[in-house]
Every structure is written in C-alpha cells, then in structure tokens.
Amino acid sequence: MLMTALLLIAAQPPLSDRIASLPVIEEMPNPFLFQDGRTVNDSADWPERRTEILDLVLRYEYGKLPPAPGNVRAEDIVENDDHIALRLRMGPGNGFAVRTRVYLPETDDAPHPVVVRFGLDGNRAKQITDRGYAYVCFEHRELDPDTQGYDVPGPAQAAYPDYDWGALAVWAWGASCVLDYLETVPEIDIARSVITGHSRTGKAALLAGALDERFAIVVPNGSGCGGAAAFRGAEDGVETLKLITMEARFKSWLHADLAAFANDVQRLPFDQHFMRALIAPRVVLNTDALGDTWANPPGTQKAWLAAQPVFDFLDVGDRNLCHFREGGHDQLPEDMDVLLDVADWHFRDQPLMSKFSTVPVPI
Ligand code: GTR
C-alpha cells in the first residue's frame, strides 16, 4: 500500500511540468466551459459546473478544507455594556477556541439580520446596530496566525493534518463555525447574514461566502489580489499573483501550488470572477477605493464584469454589485453604509440607496 503510494508520487511529473501542460487562456476563462470541453446549457447544468469551479479554486489557490466540526460551543460568556464576549470552542476534541463578540441592536424585532466580520474589532459595531443589525466579530488569527515570510501552522491546521489549506481558508472555515454557533442564538436570523472583511480578511470573506451558502450577502472590502481582483492583466504597481506568493511575503495565506503560476498566470484554469460565480445566485458586493492602487481597482472591475454573465444566466443580474469610492485602503463608515444599504435592499425590500456609478475604467 505504502509502496503503491510512493510509486504514484514518483510517477507524477513535477508541478511546473504539469502546469506547462495546462492550456493558455489569455482572456478571462469562460465560467460556462467544463474542463472536458462541454458547456453549461441550462440552469440544471450549473450545479455540476459550480462544483468543478469550487474544486479548481481550492486545488490551486486556497487549499482543501475539512468539513464543519459539528461541535462548536460557546464558553466563558461575559455580558458587557454593549456586547457579549465569549469564546467559541471547536475542532477535534474541541481542542481550540476563538474569541468572539456579539453586539445586538436595541430594536425589539428579533431575530435580527447579522453582519459577521473578521477581527475582534468593536469600532464598527454602533453603526451596524443603529441600523437594526446584529454585529458579530471574531479573532480569526487564533485559528491560524497571520505571518509574513514564514509559516506557523496554527491550531486548526495542526488539528487537521490531512488538509492542505492556507491561512485564508482556515479563516474562512472559522467564519462558518461562527455561523454554526449563531444558528443557536435565538436573537439572530442567519438566513439574513452578511460576511465581510477588509484587505486580507476581505479575501477570506470572499472565500467564506463562496464556500458557505448560508451567507446571503458577501462583501469583500479592499480585497485585491487573491480576493475580488483578477489575476490576469494586472498592471505595474499592483499586487500580482507573483508578488503575493513570494516566499518572503504571503505564501502561507494560499495553497503552495499557486506560486507555480507566478510567470504563467495565463495557464491558471480560472480567475477571480469564478469566486463571484460561486456566490451566485446570492448577493456579492465588493466595496473598494479608487486610490487603492495596490489592490488593483481595474482588476476588481474586470472580475466583476466577467462574472456578470453567470448572474444573468441564473436570472439574478442585479445581485453582482461593485462599489468604488474615492480614497485609499480602508473599510470606512461609508463602505459599511453601502453594505447596510445593500442589506436593507435585499433583506428588507427597501430601494437601493447607494450609488454605483463610479468605476476605475470607464465602461
Ligand atoms: C498587503 C498585502 C495585500 C493586503 C494587505 C492587507 O501587504 O499585499 O494583499 O492583504 O496587506 O491585508 O492589509
């Protein structure tokens, strides 16, 4: 048995050779084209293609994740003035935990819709609860530390040694564990849930939303490379696949094999519009800034436009949303206002208040 496995490993050509045999796709890959050349003809074909897309992005970009642990439980619950602090314990043998905070609105119309965000940061809580939403944030770095230039496997990777997930995938898995817990909280309605994060956690938010269909609205903010921005066509001065996967930078966020495409982006069998396609027919909204050059605003626009045919095909053309404001790399109150406006529109049937007319490249 072991011998067979060793022979199989030995028989595999090196990754660079296998990548060299992948077809060159200059333009954004066609989301409707199966790997074997078949095309998606009607909506009944979409689930199979969606599964294939998911396999591709996990295989080459983020790594494979374990299933939900099925044992998330709250402990050390402390009631504070404006929030409940707790730790969510999970994993094999309930071996690790993340600090989490729950802020509830004062309105008496529970169960409330909820905004889940990466990072233990109460700064945005009041703006969100004032609009009648619960706000839940968690310390994702307790699942896997955020390192640059080296990798320290965190408790989640250590507990699941058979999975090749990078940090972004661990963090995204954590967001689903938070949702598992919120399902048990009577004041919260997870059928109306939003997942968001900024920058590196914007990338994790996009992935969490792609993976977990319970998130009704997915809002990557300033997520750029490995997030909402296309890899193909990245211009000078922006973060590229080659830069993000450098040993000295953020290789540990992603699957190790992604680096093999550093000089060969055109052989990647997907691009980041596939991440949006995975979210359809749910709502995806990227909130970005025109001055956030490093995060590649034109590339985000490109992936947004390339995903639109999937939303049109599934008859939800208005659920693929892209917002740009003036300014730089941050998740500002005005970004959160756009998120909340979209949530009011989707969950509460209110007219969409935010304006969506500014794009980095005139259409
Ligand atoms: C940068 C990185 C970006 C982005 C950012 C952040 O250094 O190149 O991909 O994630 O960090 O998270 O603030």
What is the chain's pLDDT, residue by residue, as a tens digit (363 residues)? Answer: 445 555 555 567 778 778 889 999 999 999 999 999 999 999 999 999 999 999 999 999 999 999 999 999 999 999 999 999 999 999 999 999 999 999 999 999 999 999 999 999 999 999 999 999 999 999 999 999 999 999 999 999 999 999 999 999 999 999 999 999 999 999 999 999 999 999 999 999 999 999 999 999 999 999 999 999 999 999 999 999 999 999 999 989 999 999 999 999 999 999 999 999 999 999 999 999 999 999 999 999 999 999 999 999 999 999 999 999 999 999 999 999 999 999 999 999 999 988 999 999 998
Residue 37 included in any domain: no
Query: From the CB of 199, is ligand 1 less than 6 Å away?
Result: yes
> What's the rounded Cα separation, in Å, for the pair 152 and 173?
18
Nearest to 195 by CA among 164, 227, 226: 227
Nearest to 296 by CA among 214, 220, 240: 240
> What's the rounded Cα separation, in Å, for the pair 117 and 175?
8
Residue 27 included in any domain: no
**pLDDT attached to residue 8:** 52
The number of the ligand 1 atom at minimal distance from the alpha carbon of 243 is 8
**pLDDT attached to residue 325:** 97
Q: How far is the CA of 225 from the centre of ligand 1 (A)?
A: 8
Residue 271 included in any domain: yes
Residue 357 included in any domain: no
Q: How far is the CA of 132 from the centre of ligand 1 (A)?
A: 31
CA dihedral 146, 148, 152, 157 (to 10 degrees): 50
**pLDDT attached to residue 7:** 53
User: Both tokens of residue 126?
Assistant: 């009041």
Is the link from the previous residue into 111 a cis peptide, with omega within 30 of 0? yes
Report the domain count for the chain: 1
Residue 96 included in any domain: yes
Residues 6+ apart with CB under 8 A from 188: 102, 104, 110, 111, 112, 114, 134, 136, 182
Please report the beta strands in the chain, taking only residues with DSSP state E, as ranges in sequence order. Answer: 73-79, 84-90, 96-103, 112-118, 134-138, 188-198, 217-221, 283-289, 320-325
**pLDDT attached to residue 106:** 96
Residue nearest to atom 10 of ligand 1 (CA): 200
- CA 295 to chain centroid: 15
Q: What are phi and psi of 112, to 5 degrees?
A: -95, 150
Residue 16 included in any domain: no
Query: From the CB of 239, is ligand 1 less than 6 Å away?
Result: yes
Residue nearest to atom 2 of ligand 1 (CA): 200
Which of 171, 239, 254, 329 most suits a substitution to test ligand 1, by most atoms within 8 Å of the C-beta? Answer: 239
CATH of the domain at 177: 3.40.50.1820
> What's the rounded Cα separation, in Å, for the pair 56 and 40?
17
Residue ranges of the alpha helices (H) in 101-164? 125-129, 155-159
Residue 7 included in any domain: no
Q: Are strands 283-289 and 320-325 parallel, antiparallel or unpaired?
A: parallel
Residues paired with residue 84 on neighbouring β-strands, in sequence order: 79, 102
Q: Can you give the residue range of the structural domain that contains 338? A: 61-348
The pTM of the full predicted model, rounded to 2 decimals, is 0.96
Residue 29 included in any domain: no
Which of 221, 223, 250, 253 most suits a substitution to test ligand 1, by most atoms within 8 Å of the C-beta? Answer: 250
Query: From the CB of 225, is ligand 1 less than 6 Å away?
Result: yes
Q: How far is the CA of 222 from the centre of ligand 1 (A)?
A: 9
**pLDDT attached to residue 16:** 77
**pLDDT attached to residue 17:** 79
